[in-house]
Structure 1
Amino acid sequence: MINLIFGIILALAISLISYKLKLLTTSGIITTFLLALVIYTFGTWQWTLPIVTFFVLSSLLSKFRKRRNPEVEKYFEKLEQRDHLQVLANGGLASVLVTLNYFYPSKLLYIVYVSMVAAVCADTWSTEIGTSVKTKTVDILSFREINQGISGGISLPGIFASFAGAFVISATSLPWIESNYQNNIIIITAAGFIGSIADSFLGSSLQAQYECKVCNSVTERKIHCGKEADLLKGKRWINNDVVNFGAGISGGIFSLIIYDIING
Structure 2
Amino acid sequence: MLDRWVNIFFTLALVFIFILSGDAQDHQRILIGIGLAAIVCTLAFIINWLTIDGAVSAGIFGSIAYGLGGFTGAAVVLGFFISGSVVSDRYISKEGFLEKSFRRDGKQVWSNGFWFALWIIIWFLSGTHAFMIAAITAISVSTSDTWATEIGDKRIKGKTRLITTWKKVTPGTEGGISFWGTLAAIFGAFFIALLYGFFSPSSSLAAIGLISSIGFLGCILDSYLGALFQNQDYSFSFGSSNGNVNAHVSNNFVNWASAGTASLISLILTLIIGV
Q: Give the TM-score of the pair, scaled to structure 2.
A: 0.75
Residues 254 and 41 (structure 1), Cα distance of their counterparts in 2 relative to 1, 3 Å cut: same
Contact 1:119 1:251 in 2 (8 A): yes
For residue 226 of structure 1, what is the aligned residue in structure 2?
none
Residues 21 and 168 (structure 1), Cα distance of their counterparts in 2 relative to 1, 3 Å cut: farther
Contact 1:65 1:131 in 2 (8 A): no
Indicate which of 200, 205, 210 corresponds to 1:176: 200
**Higher mean C-alpha deviation, range 15-24 or range 82-91:** 15-24
Q: CA deviation at 1:243?
A: 0.4
Q: CA deviation at 1:256?
A: 3.7
Indicate which of 35, 53, 56 corresponds to 2:61: 35
For residue 213 of structure 1, what is the aligned residue in structure 2?
none
Q: CA deviation at 1:252?
A: 0.9
Matches within 5 A, 1:131-170: 131-132=153-154, 133-170=156-193
Q: Distance in 2 between matches of 1:186 and 1:168?
A: 11
Counterpart check, 1:116 vs 2:127: no
**1:155-181 alpha-carbon deviations (Å, 9 max, x no partner):** 1111011011101111111132525x2
Counterpart check, 1:239 vs 2:263: no
**Higher mean C-alpha deviation, range 85-94 or range 21-30:** 21-30
Please list every run of at least 4 consecutive aligned residues from structure 1 whose deviation after the TM superposition is greater than 6 angstroms. none
For residue 53 of structure 1, what is the aligned residue in structure 2?
79
Give the fraction of aligned pairs with identical amino acids, expressed as a percent.
28
Contact 1:195 1:247 in 2 (8 A): yes
- Runs of 5+ unmatched residues, structure 1: 73-77, 211-234
Q: Give the TM-score of the pair, scaled to structure 1.
A: 0.78
Contact 1:139 1:204 in 2 (8 A): yes
Indicate which of 192, 198, 206 corresponds to 2:215: 192
For residue 252 of structure 1, what is the aligned residue in structure 2?
263
Aligned length: 230
Q: Distance in 1 between matches of 2:223 and 2:202?
A: 34
Q: CA deviation at 1:204?
A: 0.5
Matched residue SS, 2:169? coil
**Higher mean C-alpha deviation, range 1-10 or range 244-253:** 1-10
**1:198-243 alpha-carbon deviations (Å, 9 max, x no partner):** 0001001111269xxxxxxxxxxxxxxxxxxxxxxxx951110010
Contact 2:159 2:168 in 1 (8 A): yes
Q: Distance in 2 between matches of 1:8 and 1:87?
A: 17
Q: Distance in 2 between matches of 1:22 and 1:160?
A: 32
The higher relative CO (CA closer than 8 Å, separation ≥ 6) is in 1
Contact 1:23 1:59 in 2 (8 A): no
For residue 12 of structure 2, what is the aligned residue in structure 1?
none
Indicate which of 145, 151, 170 corresponds to 1:129: 151
